[in-house]
Amino acid sequence: MASYSLDDIRNAAEAKYGSTDIELGGETVRLLNPLRLTKAARNELTALQERLGDDGADQEELLSEAIRLVAEHTKAADRLLKAVNGDLAVLAEIFDRYGEGTQAGEASASQG
């Protein structure tokens, strides 16, 4: 019978469901995988993503809100958003990379 420590399992979860990390002037801004968020935060993220498709949606506001929601620390998210300076293309790219980094983990979690 296999035996694992909780630390082994935590390390495996971090490897599989780790964050999307963005380097910003010597600091790392960590965007947490949705599976590492609270249920309330996951629900809020889903609602934000749905609103992104609405006609007339303020894409910059919604993407910024999503980044603040998934960032490990609000202050780090604010520094990242200040550096982006409202550039919608950069916000979209950040969110796309975040989505790419979380898809594999979400698919694995839903199978089982």
Q: What is the pTM of this model?
A: 0.81
Cβ–Cβ under 8 Å, residues 58 and 72: no
The predicted structure's pLDDT at residue 108 = 38
d(CA 91, CA 80): 10
Q: What is the pLDDT of residues 2-59, one digit of tens each?
A: 899 999 999 998 888 889 999 998 999 999 999 999 999 999 999 999 999 899 999 9
